[in-house]
Structure 1
Amino acid sequence: MKRIKLPSLTQWHRWLGLVLSGWVLLMAVTGSMLLFKNQWLMWQYPNLRLETPVSHTTSATIADRYKAGYAYLPTHDRPWFELVDGDGNHHYFGLQGEHLLTRAPYSDTVSWFVELHHHLALDKFGKDILGVLSLFALVLIITGLVRWWPKRQWRWKNLAIRFYNPFSAKGMQTLWQLHRSTGAIVFIPIALLMFTGSAIMYASTVKDGLTTLLPMTDSRIQHTVPDRLATHWQERFEIARAVLPNADIRLIYLDSGRMRLKWPDEWHPNGRNYIAFDDRGTLTTITDVRARPLGEQIAHMVYPLHVAAIGGTAMTLVILAGGIALLLLPVTGVWFYLKRRNKR
């Protein structure tokens, strides 16, 4: 009986790289650009360049006029009040509550980049595809590292690159060395992007798994609930500040009277604390992330790592380095493969 020969590690890496190269390029381009989404919007729409953030009082007045969708409250790096209606249109408001502009879905490059990066512009079906591709991408980078890892003593020459014209006969050497060394040198940022990206696609599973492993909670946290109704957003903001003092209100849900808040030391840019009111204006729910299981708190750190929401400029440069490497790796890898195949 003839024995079936399984693909080698090199073959797995090669074929996964060829299949995933276009997707990796797409994720690298869109993700790297979206690191600077707010700056990009202000460059493309100069009327968004506000001197100071819109006040919460003005934000509450605007929010009272809408009963569907959700809205982002202003921050220093995003000073406008941004409201997303039920049709996915983004409305921007200025310091006096004036309407600055409306961005419809797929109406500009920023919108296209967001939709492509988040779900390949295919809604929920695209997100399912991204989940599968991200798992294969993890196999790709791990096999690449294993293939590169020196079998004997490690030396600096293992990272050496000799630069020749990539279109010349010796260009194959440059392409191979550039591919190999880029993957090795920038492996940590690449792995961080890939692992966090995969975890975001399977956020519920990751959160449930970590919560099962680390179920510890802090039962010492208590909250004082004000005994008054809040039918308008300004009143809800005041109650939120009383219930979770020092927490910053970041996101409000216009159809449900719910809001998200962020503690100063919390990683997630929009926070994972929730306060909800019923139709009569009674406070019904308080969710303080500090009182949640430790595993759930760790799960909430995945997204901030992926988008460089912590660590300032240094972390942004690390993530950007990973994005640039993910641009270079598929280009050099596919180019080397085609040149070698043509030579043979």
Structure 2
Amino acid sequence: MNGTQTTPFAVSPTIAAVKRRLRRGLAWLHLWVGLTVGSIFALNGVAGSVLVFHTDLLRWQHPELIAHKPHADPVVLEQLVAQWAPRGVRSIDLPKPELPVWQAYFANGERAYFAPEDGALLLQRAPDNDVLMWLHEWHVALLAHDSGKQVLGVIGWVSLGLLVSGLYLWWPKPGRWRSHLRVHTHPPVRRWVTWHRSGGALLLPLLLLATVTGVGMVYGKGFHAVFTAALGGAVPTLPKLKGAPDEVDWNRVLERAHHALPGARLSRVSMPKPDSRVISFRARAAGEWHPNGRSEVHVDAAGTRVLDVFDATAQAAGARASAALYPLHIGVVGGSAARWVTAIVGLLPMFLLVTGFLFWRRRTGH
């Protein structure tokens, strides 16, 4: 048979050349986007690694916060609401074993901590006077409030693209898996490229989990809508009961709320709205991953009846998946081992940035 023989699966030289050009273009894009946008991604990851131990570090910095018994006294809560709600407090965490004080959240991002026995102010924190608070604001909003959150969301999507493109560039041909996973020590250019590629490929599932859950929190409403549309689930609604809550019976309200969801722990109370007689609580039902829970209890201001209960554990899979984003992101699912793994994963983007930079520097002779 005359002429050049070809196999049914042969790739024409033209197609092969196009694939090589596309691959070179993707590698160039991966490099420069990684060195620019990837730098912010890496710094954000380092901040997240520290924040995994936020409460532990806070307890270590301020031992006065843990020298108490976790008791939610309704008289103290009434005093705190009367004194601090007009000053911008939006919600207050009830004392709990890991942080046995009242923790108040202000509209401007500050936090305050009060003794559970008498409501005495123990500590006030803000991003401009507390390193952990500064890291928190950087991690969730790049120190730029709502606009920073939107920028961070875009960076999150770009970072997902970096991870996927890196996997594509690394993906070996059949029979070459072992060589692609091998890590070399010399020469330096080969060391840095194998550390970068092999490290990224082996730890990609953890990196994807951290990045996807982070993006999911930035676009929480959108992710929740997608999850519930696909897998079911409801959105908690705030009952309406108009009238100024001038006479809130906090003793009866707390008692009623405690018994509204058996087995749950009340975790947070929202400040009463001026035109509503509804007192709203966050609660952590048995089996919830979220440290504060996603369940809700709503009681009338007089404490005479429970208006509504939202049990997050009774929801369909979509709502439960949406509620799992935050606890998975911060590493509270799986005990202390999961927290350490989450902290290490937060350092991986910086590792990939440094090894990628060193590889580029060695290869180009800079």
CA contact (8 A) 1:72 1:250 kept: yes
Out of 183, 199, 206, the position equivalent to 1:161 is: 183
CA contact (8 A) 1:64 1:233 kept: no
Rounded Cα–Cα distance in structure 2 between residues aligned with 1:290 and 1:324: 33
Aligned to 1:261: 283
Aligned to 2:312: 289
Out of 254, 257, 266, the position equivalent to 1:249 is: 266
CA contact (8 A) 2:231 2:317 kept: yes
Q: CA deviation at 1:192?
A: 0.8
Which secondary structure does the structure 2 equivalent of 1:38 belong to? helix
Rounded Cα–Cα distance in structure 1 between residues aligned with 2:150 and 2:53: 26
Alignment map for 1:24-35 (pairs within 5 Å)? 24-35=41-52
Count of paired positions: 324
Aligned to 2:101: 80
CA contact (8 A) 2:42 2:350 kept: yes
Rounded Cα–Cα distance in structure 2 between residues aligned with 1:89 and 1:52: 24
CA contact (8 A) 1:59 1:81 kept: no
Letter in 2 for 1:35: V
Which secondary structure does the structure 1 equivalent of 2:122 belong to? strand
Aligned to 2:335: 312
Aligned to 1:340: 363
Aligned to 1:322: 345
Whether 1:125 aligns to 2:125 is no
Letter in 2 for 1:186: L
1:50-102, CA deviations, whole angstroms, 9 ceiling, x for partnerless residues? 36434455763554434342111222222222112344331112342332111
Rounded Cα–Cα distance in structure 1 between residues aligned with 2:70 and 2:128: 26
Which secondary structure does the structure 2 equivalent of 1:135 belong to? helix
1:252-290, CA deviations, whole angstroms, 9 ceiling, x for partnerless residues? 112342110011201111111112245555643322224
CA contact (8 A) 1:30 1:117 kept: yes
Alignment map for 1:56-67 (pairs within 5 Å)? 56-57=73-74, 60-65=77-82, 66-67=84-85
CA contact (8 A) 1:58 1:95 kept: no
Rounded Cα–Cα distance in structure 2 between residues aligned with 1:240 and 1:146: 53
Letter in 2 for 1:308: G
Q: CA deviation at 1:291?
A: 4.2
Letter in 1 for 2:307: T
Whether 1:209 aligns to 2:226 is yes
Aligned to 1:274: 296
- Give the TM-score, by structure 2 length: 0.81
Range that drifts further, 84-93 or 120-129: 84-93
Aligned to 1:93: 114
Range that drifts further, 59-68 or 301-310: 59-68
Letter in 1 for 2:210: L
Q: Which runs of 5+ in 2 are unaligned?
A: 1-17, 235-244, 274-278
CA contact (8 A) 1:161 1:177 kept: yes
Which secondary structure does the structure 1 equivalent of 2:197 belong to? helix
Q: Which runs of 5+ in 1 are unaligned?
A: 165-169, 218-228
Rounded Cα–Cα distance in structure 1 between residues aligned with 2:233 and 2:286: 22
Out of 201, 205, 208, the position equivalent to 1:191 is: 208
Rounded Cα–Cα distance in structure 2 between residues aligned with 1:103 and 1:216: 37
Rounded Cα–Cα distance in structure 2 between residues aligned with 1:216 and 1:87: 32
Which secondary structure does the structure 1 equivalent of 2:185 belong to? coil
Rounded Cα–Cα distance in structure 1 between residues aligned with 2:71 and 2:199: 43
The alignment-based identity, stated in percent, is 29
Q: Structure 1 residues 56, 149: closer, same or farther in 2, change over 3 A?
A: farther
Whether 1:103 aligns to 2:125 is yes
Rounded Cα–Cα distance in structure 2 between residues aligned with 1:242 and 1:279: 16
Letter in 1 for 2:109: G
Aligned to 1:22: 39
Q: Structure 1 residues 15, 52: closer, same or farther in 2, change over 3 A?
A: same
Q: Structure 1 residues 160, 106: closer, same or farther in 2, change over 3 A?
A: same
Rounded Cα–Cα distance in structure 2 between residues aligned with 1:116 and 1:304: 19
Rounded Cα–Cα distance in structure 1 between residues aligned with 2:32 and 2:126: 39
CA contact (8 A) 1:56 1:73 kept: no
Rounded Cα–Cα distance in structure 1 between residues aligned with 2:261 and 2:201: 45
Out of 94, 108, 114, the position equivalent to 2:136 is: 114
Q: CA deviation at 1:8?
A: 3.1
Aligned-CA RMSD value: 2.5
